C-alpha cells in the first residue's frame, strides 16, 4: 500500500486515477461514492497537480485513512469543508448533503485512526523548564524570591505560540552552564553561614523648609512633585554605601501627601539601583514597590517595603582622584500620580507649572539590611533543618537533608539510589570545602543541574507514581511553578487522580496569587502582546501619549523608568482575563463585556469619568465608550498598528489567530509587499480600503487577503494609540505634524486634531462567510452571533496546549470536541473550562509505554 502511494506521488494525475481505481476494492466505499467526486468537482482545480494553493494538494490523498498517510492534510480538509471556508464563496457550492457525506466519511475514518494511533508512541512532551518556570520553581523551592531569568539565555518567543514545548525548549551546554552558575548564585543566598551578620542601617531626614533651587522654588525641601527629582529634596534619592551582598532589606519611610486641588490617593513608587540623577538613560534601576499615600502631613505615617538585595543593580564604585569609591545603591522615591491630564495640559511637568497637582511629603527614609528576625533565616532552616542528628549522626543527617530537598526539587519522592549518589558527591566535596554549609551549597547546585530537576518528563509508572506527574502538570499549568505541600500530599496519598479532587484543587490554585503568573504568561503569549511596547509612537501625531525628555542631548526620547499608559494597558489586558477567570464568566466576554479593567490614566485615555487612583478595578461601561471585550484594548490596537495609523492586516491577523483560532500563514516568498500600509509618516493620508482593494487585484495576494483584510476594516474606528476615532485624515491630503509652539495647550491640540481629521472613518466591510458589518459594534455582534463556538474552541485549544506543553495535533481533535460540547452547556464559563481541561484524559495522559502495557 505504502509503496503504491509513493509511486502515485510521482505520477501524473491520469495514471494516479487509474491506480486508485484499481485499488478501489480495498478502499472504503464512501471514498469512491462521495469523496473523490467531491474533490474532483470542488477542490482539485486549486489543490491538485496544477495549482497548490495554501501549499495543499488533495490529488495525492488516497482513500484509506487507516494508513495514517496524509492524516494532517485530512484534518485540514475536514475543517475547511465542515466550517464552510471551502470551496471559496465565489465558486460553485456543494449542497448540504454532499458536504455532510464527505464530512462524515472523513470524521469516521479519522476517529478510528486517532483511537488506533493514541495507543502507540505519543508526542514528545519532555522539555526543559522555561526560564519563567525555572525562576518560579527556584522561588518556591528555596523560599526566596530572586531574579534569575536575566542570567539565563533568552527563551525563544514566537507570536501566537506558547514556548513551553519540546520544540522550543532546547537544551545545550550553554544552558546547563548557566543553570549551574545561577544555582550557585541562588544557593549562596539560600544557605547562610552560621554567624549572624550585622544589620547595616542608613537614614536620611528632610525638613519642611522652602526649597529655593531653580524650578523647585515653591517646593518644600521634603516634597516631591510629579516626576520631580530636584536637588535637596527626597526626589533625588538616598544613597546607601553600606549594605551586604545578599539578604533581605527593609525600607521604611515616613510620608504623607498634599492634595492642593482634590485627589485622595498618591502613589509613591520606590526604585533602587543606580543614581538616576547622573544620566537616567543609561542608569539601571529596579522597582521595589509602590505605597499609596492618603494621609495629610498633619498625620504622617510610616510605610514599609521589603525585598532581596540581590535583585537590585549595584552601582560599582569608580576611581575618583586616585581613590576607589565604595559601591552604591540609591533609593529613589517617585511621585507617579497621574490623573490622565498631565500629558494634555502640562508640557513641562516641573513644579511650579503644575501647582495644583498632588505632592508627596517624605520626612525620612531608612534602609536596613540584612533584616533577620529569626536566625538562621527560614529559607536556610528549611534545607539544613534543626535536628539532634546533626551532631549525633552527621552521615544520616546529610542523607535526610538530601532526601528532603531532592523530593521537593524532583517534585516526587527521591529514590534511595538517587540520594546515595548525592551523598557520594557531598562526601567528595566536604574535605575540599570544609563546612557543612559550603559543601551543601555546592552539592545542591549540582543537584539542580540534573535532568530530574530541569526537565518535565513522563516516567514509566513502574518507577514513579503518576499522581506526582499530575501534581506537576497542574502546578506548572496554573502557577508556572512546582507543586505545593497540599498537591504533594494528595499525590502521596493517591487521591489526586480523581475528577472531584482535581476540580477542588484547580479552584484553590486559581484563587492563589501564584495564578497571576499563569494568567500573565499565558495571556502575553496567547495574544502576542509584548510587541505593543516596542511600536514606535509617532510623536508628531500623538505628542501627548507618552512622556518625553524635554531638553538636553536626549530631548525627544521617552523618559525612562516611569510607568506609562502603555504599562497600564498591559495591566488592563492581563487584569481583564484574570477578572473573567475569577468571576467564572463566559468566554463571550472576550468579544464584548459590560465592564473594563481600568485605573485613572486608562479611564482618562478612553474617555470615562469618575475613576480615581492608580489601582486597576472593574468599571462599568456604556455603549458610547466603544469599549468592552479584548478587541478594543489599547494593548491589542497599538501592538497591531504602526504607531502612526491602524494596520488593518496586523489587526485582522490578530483577530483570526488570537480570537478565532485560525493559523494565518506568513506571506510566502516572492510575493510583492503591500506598497504602503496606511500612513508611513504623518505626511500622506491614504484610504486603507482602496489600498487593500488594489492589493487584492493581484491573484496571488488575493487568495489569502480576501480572507484577511475584511476582518481588519472595522478596526479602523480605533487609532494608532487605541482610541476610538470618528474622523480620519482625508485621502491624499498632506498631514501636518503637531506644532509644539502653536498647538501647545489642550484646546490647541484639539484644534490641531480636528484640523487634520476631517473625513468620517470608513469601517464597512463584508466579513468572509458573513454579513456586511459597519464598524466594531457590528463586528462584535456578528462574532457573538455566529462565531461563538469557534471562539470557545480556540480558547479551549489554547489553554489545553499551554497546559500540556505541546502543540495540539489531529489526535487531540476529539478530546477538544468533547471539551467544547461539555463547555457549551453552560455558555462556556472560563473557570469551568479550565477545570474540565485539567480533568480531561489528554491532560492526565500517561506515557506510551504504559498504555501499551495496559492494553
Partner 1 sequence: MKHKSWHLDRRDLLKGGGIAIALPFLNGMGSGLKKAMGSIRNAAGESEQPKRMLVSYFAYGAYMPESPSGVPRSTGRTDDKEHNPWSWWPCKDAGPLSFNESSSPFKPLKDDISYLRGLDHAGGWKLGGHSSGDVFATGADMIGAEKTNNISIDQVAAQLHGHKTRYSSLVLGTEGGTGSYGSCKTLSHRGPGRPIPSLHKPQEIFNRLFNPYTGKGVEQVRAGLKRDASILDLVLEHSRSFKHRLGSEDQGKVDEYLDSIRALEQRVERTSKWTHQPLPDVATKGLNLEVSHKEPEEYIRCMYDLIYLAFQTDSTRFATLMLESEQSSNSEMWNYATYVLGYKGATHDIAHKRPVDYSGQWDQWRAKQHAYFLQRLRDTPEGDGNMLDRTVVLWGSAHPHASHSTKNYPIQLAGGSHLGVKHGHLHEFVGEKKVPLANLFVSMLNAVDVPVEKFADSTGPMTELVQ
Window 273-292: residues binding partner 1 (CB under 8 A): 281-282, 284
Q: For 340-409, give the DSSP string.
A: S-HHHH-SS-STTS-TTS-EEEEEEEEEEES--SSSS-HHHHHHS---THHHH-HHHHHHHHHHHHHHHH
Could you tell me which residues are beta bridge partners of residue 200?
369
Among 674, 746, 762, 784, which residue sits at the site for partner 1 (rule: CB under 8 A)?
A: 674
Minimum CB–partner distance for residue 541 and partner 1 (Å): 8
**Which residue is associated with the grid cell 525548549?**
169
Residue 265: closest CA among 222, 242, 295: 295
Decide whether 161 or 625 has the Cβ nearer to partner 1: 161
Residue 536 CB, shortest distance to partner 1, in Å, is 4
Q: Which is nearer to partner 1, 469 or 793 (CB)?
A: 469
Q: Which of 147, 396, 427, 557 binds partner 1 (CB under 8 A)?
A: 557
Q: In this complex, which beta carbon is closest to partner 1, that of residue 401 or of residue 767?
A: 401
Residue with cell 475536514: 78
User: What is the closest distance, in whole angstroms, from the C-beta atom of residue 302 to partner 1 in the complex?
Assistant: 35
Which SS3 state, helix, strand or coil, does residue 725 take?
coil
Is position 551 an interface residue for partner 1 (rule: CB under 8 A)?
no
* Shorter beta-carbon distance to partner 1: residue 75 or 155: 155
Q: Which position among 245, 428, 501, 698 is part of the footprint of partner 1 (CB under 8 A)?
A: 428
Residues of this chain, 396-425, that bind partner 1 according to CB under 8 A: 417-418, 421-422, 424-425
- Helix, strand, or coil (residue 323): strand
Site stretch for partner 1 (CB under 8 A), options 41-49, 390-398, 531-539, 576-584:
531-539
Q: How many CB atoms neighbour CB 17 within 10 A? A: 15
The gap from C-alpha 180 to its chain's centroid, in whole angstroms, comes to 27
Judged by CB, which is closer to partner 1: 541, or 627?
Answer: 541
Query: Is the CB of 46 or the CB of 682 nearer to partner 1?
Result: 682
Q: Which set of grid coordinates corresponds to residue 689?
A: 480600503
Q: Count residues contacting partner 1 (CB under 8 A)?
A: 86
Per CB under 8 A, does 736 bind partner 1? no
Q: How far apart are CA 276 and CA 88, in angstroms?
A: 60
Answer yes or no whether residue 434 interacts with partner 1 by CB under 8 A: no
Which one of residues 10, 669, 854, 855 is an interface residue with partner 1 (CB under 8 A)? 669
* 170 part of the interface to partner 1, by CB under 8 A: yes
By CB under 8 A, is residue 431 in contact with partner 1?
no
Q: Quick one: cell of 346?
A: 502640562
Nearest residue (CB) to partner 1, 452 versus 515: 452
What does the alpha-carbon distance between residue 518 and residue 714 come to, in Å, rounded to a whole number? Answer: 31
Among 535, 569, 570, 580, which residue interacts with partner 1 (rule: CB under 8 A)?
A: 535
171 near partner 1 (CB under 8 A): yes
Instruction: Kindly state whether residue 163 participates in binding partner 1, applying the rule CB under 8 A.
Output: yes
| Positions in 436-465 near partner 1 (CB under 8 A) | 442, 446, 449-452, 454-455, 457-460, 462-464
Running DSSP on this structure, what letter comes out for residue 34? I
Restricted to residues 598-617, the positions that interact with partner 1 (CB under 8 A) are none
Residues 608 and 695 sit within 8 Å (Cβ to Cβ)? no
Q: What's the Cα-to-Cα distance from 135 to each of 480, 514, 530, 532, rounded to whole Å? A: 9, 13, 20, 25
Within residues 636-655, the interface with partner 1 by CB under 8 A covers 642-644
Please report, as residue ranges, which positions from 104 to 133 form the binding site for partner 1 (by CB under 8 A): 121-128
Q: C-beta of 644: minimal distance to partner 1 in Å? A: 6
Instruction: Check: CB of residue 274 under 8 Å from CB of residue 221.
Output: no
Question: Among residues 32, 98, 155, 817, which is the contact residue for partner 1, using CB under 8 A?
Answer: 155
Q: Which of 51, 158, 730, 736 forms a contact with partner 1 (CB under 8 A)? A: 158
Cis preceding linkage at 727, omega within 30: no
Containing 175, the helix (H) or strand (E) segment is helix 173-190
Nearest Cα to 544, choosing from 734, 354, 351, 723? 723
List binders of partner 1 among 202-231 (CB under 8 A).
Answer: none
Smallest gap, in angstroms, from Cβ of residue 811 to partner 1? Answer: 13
Q: In the complex with partner 1, which residue's Cβ is closer, 394 or 668?
A: 668
CA dist., res. 218 & res. 213, Å (int): 9
In the complex, minimum distance from the CB of residue 768 to partner 1, in angstroms, rounded to a whole number: 23
Q: What's the DSSP call for residue 200?
A: E
- Given the complex with partner 1, which of 42 and 705 has the nearer CB atom? 705
Task: Tell whether residue 245 is a contact of partner 1 (CB under 8 A).
Answer: no
Q: Is 671 in the site for partner 1 (CB under 8 A)?
A: yes
* Nearer Cβ to partner 1 (365/491): 491
Rule CB under 8 A: say whether 523 interacts with partner 1: no
d(CA 113, CA 110): 5
The distance of closest approach from Cβ of residue 180 to partner 1 in the complex, given in angstroms and rounded to an integer, is 8
Beta bridge partners of 205: 364
Altogether, the residues listed in the chain come to a count of 855
Min separation Cβ 494 and partner 1, Å? 20
Closest CA to 724 of 632, 793, 802: 632
- Which is nearer to partner 1, 66 or 668 (by Cβ)? 668
- The reply to whether 702 sits near partner 1 by the rule CB under 8 A is no
Please say which residue, 551 or 669, places its beta carbon nearer to partner 1: 669
User: Is the bond leading into 370 cis (omega within 30 degrees of zero)?
Assistant: yes
| Grid cell for residue 790 | 469557534
Minimum CB separation of residue 680 from partner 1 in Å reads 5
Chosen residue from 484, 498, 540, 774 binding partner 1 by CB under 8 A: 540
Residue 725 vs residues 646, 767, 797: alpha-carbon distances, Å = 11, 21, 34
The residues in 35-64 that bind partner 1, with binding defined as CB under 8 A, are none
Q: In the numeric block, which cell numbers belong to residue 161?
A: 505560540
The answer for residues whose C-beta is within 8 angstroms of residue 729's C-beta and 6 or more apart is 685, 735, 756, 757, 758, 759
| Binding of partner 1 by 536 (CB under 8 A) | yes
Is residue 157 near partner 1 by the rule CB under 8 A? yes
- The nearer residue to partner 1, 413 or 613, going by C-beta atoms, is 413
Minimal distance, residue 427 CB to partner 1, in Å: 11
707 near 649, Cβ under 8 Å? no
12 versus 172: smaller Cβ distance to partner 1: 172
Looking at the Cβ atoms of 392 and 675, the one nearer to partner 1 is 675
Query: 290 has which bridge partners?
Result: 269
Contact 215, 351 (CB under 8 A): yes
Instruction: Give the one residue of 195, 670, 699, 760 binding partner 1; rule: CB under 8 A.
Output: 670
For 668, residues 6+ apart whose C-beta sits below 8 A from its C-beta are none
- List Cα–Cα distances, 762 to 610, 677, 699, 728, in angstroms: 31, 16, 25, 9
Burial profile 95-123: b = 16 or more Cβ within 10 angstroms, e = fewer: eeebbebbbebbbebbeebbeeebeeebe
828-847 residues near partner 1, rule: CB under 8 A: 847
Q: Is 175 in the site for partner 1 (CB under 8 A)?
A: yes
Residue 154 touches partner 1, criterion: CB under 8 A: yes
Q: Closer to partner 1 at the Cβ: 163 or 635?
A: 163
- Quote the least distance from Cβ 481 to partner 1, whole Å: 21
Instruction: Identify the H or E element spanning 751.
Output: helix 746-756
In the numeric block, which cell numbers belong to residue 722? 487605541
Among 261, 392, 534, 697, which residue interacts with partner 1 (rule: CB under 8 A)?
534
Q: What is the rounded CA–CA span in Å between residue 64 and residue 26?
A: 8
168 sits near partner 1 (criterion: CB under 8 A): yes
Contact 616, 565 (CB under 8 A): no
State the nearest-atom distance from the C-beta of 21 to partner 1, in Å: 32
Amino acid at each position: 500500500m505504502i509503496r503504491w502511494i509513493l509511486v502515485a506521488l510521482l505520477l501524473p494525475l491520469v495514471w494516479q486515477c487509474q491506480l486508485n481505481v484499481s485499488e478501489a476494492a480495498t478502499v472504503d466505499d464512501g471514498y469512491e461514492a462521495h469523496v473523490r467526486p467531491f474533490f474532483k468537482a470542488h477542490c482539485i482545480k486549486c489543490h491538485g497537480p496544477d495549482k497548490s494553493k495554501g501549499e495543499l494538494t488533495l490529488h495525492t490523498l488516497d482513500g484509506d485513512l487507516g494508513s495514517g498517510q496524509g492524516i494532517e492534510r485530512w484534518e485540514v480538509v475536514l475543517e475547511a469543508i465542515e466550517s464552510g471556508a471551502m470551496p471559496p464563496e465565489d465558486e460553485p457550492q456543494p449542497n448540504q448533503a454532499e458536504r455532510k457525506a464527505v464530512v462524515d466519511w472523513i470524521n469516521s475514518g479519522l476517529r478510528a485512526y486517532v483511537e488506533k494511533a493514541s495507543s502507540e508512541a505519543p508526542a514528545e512532551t519532555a522539555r526543559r523548564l522555561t526560564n519563567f518556570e525555572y525562576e518560579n520553581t527556584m522561588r518556591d523551592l528555596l523560599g526566596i524570591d530572586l531574579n534569575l531569568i536575566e542570567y539565563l539565555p533568552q527563551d525563544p518567543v514566537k507570536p501566537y505560540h506558547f514556548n513551553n514545548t519540546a520544540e522550543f525548549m532546547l537544551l545545550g551546554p550553554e544552558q546547563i552552564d548557566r543553570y549551574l552558575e545561577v544555582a550557585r548564585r541562588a544557593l549562596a543566598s539560600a544557605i547562610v553561614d552560621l554567624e549572624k551578620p550585622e544589620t547595616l542601617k542608613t537614614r536620611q531626614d528632610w525638613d519642611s523648609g522652602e526649597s529655593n533651587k531653580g524650578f523647585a522654588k515653591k517646593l518644600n525641601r521634603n516634597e516631591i512633585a510629579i516626576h520631580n527629582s530636584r536637588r535637596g529634596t527626597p526626589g533625588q534619592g538616598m544613597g546607601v554605601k553600606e549594605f551586604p551582598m545578599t539578604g533581605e532589606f527593609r525600607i521604611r519611610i515616613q510620608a504623607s501627601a498634599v492634595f492642593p486641588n482634590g485627589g485622595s490617593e498618591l502613589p509613591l513608587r520606590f526604585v533602587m539601583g543606580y543614581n538616576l540623577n547622573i544620566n537616567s538613560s543609561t542608569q539601571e534601576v529596579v522597582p521595589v514597590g509602590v505605597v499609596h499615600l492618603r494621609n495629610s502631613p498633619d498625620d504622617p505615617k510610616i510605610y514599609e517595603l521589603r525585598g532581596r538585595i540581590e535583585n537590585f543593580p549595584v552601582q560599582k564604585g569608580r576611581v575618583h582622584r586616585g581613590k576607589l569609591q565604595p559601591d552604591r545603591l540609591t533609593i529613589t522615591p517617585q511621585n507617579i500620580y497621574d490623573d490622565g491630564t498631565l500629558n494634555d495640559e502640562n508640557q513641562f511637568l516641573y513644579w511650579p507649572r503644575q501647582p495644583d497637582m498632588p505632592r508627596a511629603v517624605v520626612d525620612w527614609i531608612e534602609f536596613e539590611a540584612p533584616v533577620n528576625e529569626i536566625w538562621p533565616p527560614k529559607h536556610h532552616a528549611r534545607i539544613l533543618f534543626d535536628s539532634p542528628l546533626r551532631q549525633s549522626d552527621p552521615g544520616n543527617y546529610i542523607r535526610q537533608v538530601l532526601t528532603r530537598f531532592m523530593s521537593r526539587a524532583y517534585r516526587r519522592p527521591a529514590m534511595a539510589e538517587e540520594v546515595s549518589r548525592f551523598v557520594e558527591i557531598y562526601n567528595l566535596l566536604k574535605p575540599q570545602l570544609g563546612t557543612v554549609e559550603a559543601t551543601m551549597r555546592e552539592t545542591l547546585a549540582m543537584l539542580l543541574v540534573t535532568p530530574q530537576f530541569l526537565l518535565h518528563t513522563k516516567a514509566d509508572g513502574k518507577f514513579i507514581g503518576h499522581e506526582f506527574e499530575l501534581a506537576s502538570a497542574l502546578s506548572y499549568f496554573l502557577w508556572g511553578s512546582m507543586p505545593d505541600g497540599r498537591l504533594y500530599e494528595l499525590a502521596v496519598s493517591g487521591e489526586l487522580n480523581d475528577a472531584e479532587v482535581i476540580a477542588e484543587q484547580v479552584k484553590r490554585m486559581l484563587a492563589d496569587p501564584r495564578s497571576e503568573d499563569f494568567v500573565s504568561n499565558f495571556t502575553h503569549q496567547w495574544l502576542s502582546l509584548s510587541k505593543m511596547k516596542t511600536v514606535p509612537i509617532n510623536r508628531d501625531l500623538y505628542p501627548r501619549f507618552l512622556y518625553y525628555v524635554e531638553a538636553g542631548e536626549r530631548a525627544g526620547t521617552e523618559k525612562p523608568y516611569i510607568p506609562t499608559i502603555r504599562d497600564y494597558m498591559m495591566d488592563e489586558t492581563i487584569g481583564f482575563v484574570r477578572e473573567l477567570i475569577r468571576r467564572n464568566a463566559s468566554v463571550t466576554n472576550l468579544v464584548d463585556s459590560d465592564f473594563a479593567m481600568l485605573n485613572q490614566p486608562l479611564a482618562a485615555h478612553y474617555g470615562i469619568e469618575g475613576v480615581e487612583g492608580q489601582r486597576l478595578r472593574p468599571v462599568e461601561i456604556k455603549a458610547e465608550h466603544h469599549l468592552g471585550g479584548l478587541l478594543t484594548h489599547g494593548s491589542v490596537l497599538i501592538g497591531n498598528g504602526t504607531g502612526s495609523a491602524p494596520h488593518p492586516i496586523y489587526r485582522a491577523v490578530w483577530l483570526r489567530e488570537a480570537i478565532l483560532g485560525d493559523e494565518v500563514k506568513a506571506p510566502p516568498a516572492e510575493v510583492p509587499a503591500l506598497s504602503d500600509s496606511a500612513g508611513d509618516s504623518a505626511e500622506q493620508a491614504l484610504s486603507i480600503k482602496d489600498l487593500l482593494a488594489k492589493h487584492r487585484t493581484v491573484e496571488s495576494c488575493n487568495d489569502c487577503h480576501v480572507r484577511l483584510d475584511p476582518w481588519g476594516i472595522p478596526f479602523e474606528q480605533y487609532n494608532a494609540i487605541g482610541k476610538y476615532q470618528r474622523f480620519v485624515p482625508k485621502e491624499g491630503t498632506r498631514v501636518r505634524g503637531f506644532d509644539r509652539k502653536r498647538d501647545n495647550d489642550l484646546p490647541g491640540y484639539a484644534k490641531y486634531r480636528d484640523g487634520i481629521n476631517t473625513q468620517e472613518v470608513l469601517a464597512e466591510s463584508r466579513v468572509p462567510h458573513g454579513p456586511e458589518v459597519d464598524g466594531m459594534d457590528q463586528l462584535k455582534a456578528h462574532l457573538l452571533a455566529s462565531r461563538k463556538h469557534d471562539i470557545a474552541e480556540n480558547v479551549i485549544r489554547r489553554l489545553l496546549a499551554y497546559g500540556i506543553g505541546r502543540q495540539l495535533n489531529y489526535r487531540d481533535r476529539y478530546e477538544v470536541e468533547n471539551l467544547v460540547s461539555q463547555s457549551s452547556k453552560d455558555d462556556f464559563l472560563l473557570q469551568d473550562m479550565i477545570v474540565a481541561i485539567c480533568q480531561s484524559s489528554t491532560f492526565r495522559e500517561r506515557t506510551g509505554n504504559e498504555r501499551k502495557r495496559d492494553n
